Structure 1
Amino acid sequence: MGPVRYVAIGDSFTEGVGDEDAAGVPRGWADRVAGGLAGAAGEPIHYANLAVRGKLLADVVTDQLDAALALDPAPTMITLNGGGNDMLRPRTDLARLGELTAHAVRRCADAGVRLVLISGADPSGGLPLGRVVNRRAAALTAMVRDLADRHRLTLVDVFGDTEIRRPGYWSEDRLHLAAPGHMRTAGLVLDALGVRGALPALGAATEVRRGVTAELAYYRTHVLPWVGRRLRGHSSGDGRPAKYPAWTTLPAPSPGG
């Protein structure tokens, strides 16, 4: 495979929210992909994760991408996902999101860094106004697919994965994937990169039943606080640093481990 220096940029999806370890630190699909790449390489790799929850796509393809390309030594691969928070705003300029993604494509091409585009999983089945979110996300995914085709880039279409839409793959807030969802996403990414068998086989997601009491608790616990943050102009990522802003060395798994 040659040297692997992998950087993940994005929002909560890439940070790993919903897939926290025992200490409460998000792991997520990108961390799992990095581990799979280390196993496939058979030697340590360099990994950084600059994603921060709540960030808009403009933040991802400017501040985060600048930081990724400034790492020394330079990255060999960057994964990019973003736009999910933009689509939760009352108004979304989809054409602008396409332009921002194209900007990232050009910058990575100029830097000689492989860019892998990731479309986010579709949460719309469990969300208020889910049809609006689905329509916007489908349009953005189509634009990203066109970019990938024109520039011969790898696109991992998690949005188009119907299995991951099942409630058992999602956390209680219905907006972020739970551990099974992040594991499935990692498997899709590694498959697209030609790395197979790096993760344990994943069984079917647990079925989730939602009654009236559960719906009321959901709105009280998750929807109303989210609306309150929007009204105050706050983001869940305000003041939050990236979890791996500099190169972290991941060792290759030991044989049989």
Structure 2
Amino acid sequence: MSRMTPVTIVGAGAVGRSLALALYRSGVTVAGVYSANGTSARALARRVAAPSSGTLTGKIPFASVVILAVPDDAIPAAAVQVLRSAGAERIRTIIHCSGALASLVLRPAAKRKISCASMHPLMTFPKKGRTVPMKDTWFALEGDRTAVALCRSLVKRMEGSSFTIDARKKTFYHMAAVFASNYTVTLLEVAGQLAREAGVPAKDLWRIFGPLVTASVNNALRHSPAAALTGPIARGDRATVLRHLDALRGSKRMEHLLPVYAALGIEAAALAGMER
């Protein structure tokens, strides 16, 4: 594979660390790593053989490609800080990694004729723990044509896959990711609360319910959510649903779950109707 342009990475948290290591291991030169306090950047730089690291102060030997792997609310300020740094004249492309924000937040860079894009890895990144491999991860891309083409090449080097989205619809894309990941985890906690209320042994809870969760998700992915739906709503068992609602209303510890059950029940009924 042809040699890729070196990159500078700003942000050494879970996303920045995972991207830096994946790029380095794929043969892309990481020219520098920078973070707010510099400590995490220097540690990551040692792992990816980056010759420059620390904070964005002084003259920075930027590569022509800069990847901003910082929290969403820090992206605009980080972009401005990069552009104001000595050495910014070398930059030709700036990419941020937010799933919620479009590349439009990089407008100050675009005004300088710098190519801009967003490259969001559709993966969960635990705040602490092991680095997340990028192989087989899908990335959502949007931005100007030149930057998006570069993002595709970077993703390919990391053995991931990519697709483009409309910047105007990116909020819906991010909501989809929230439901697929964050709210799925939240629903498991809701199930856990109800199971513990029923007296299911807490220490064995996920050994007991795990096979059901795994089978349900696998069936939905293999076929479709509508085809995988089972349970009282799918079979039109109104009496059981009413008993569930009565039980929640009658429990001070569980009554807070009534709106959750009702909202999901309405969506489940619509899903069941699709399969009929």
TM value normalised by structure 2: 0.38
Greater helix content: 2
Q: Which has the higher relative contact order, 1 or 2, with Cα contacts under 8 A spaced 6 or more apart?
A: 1
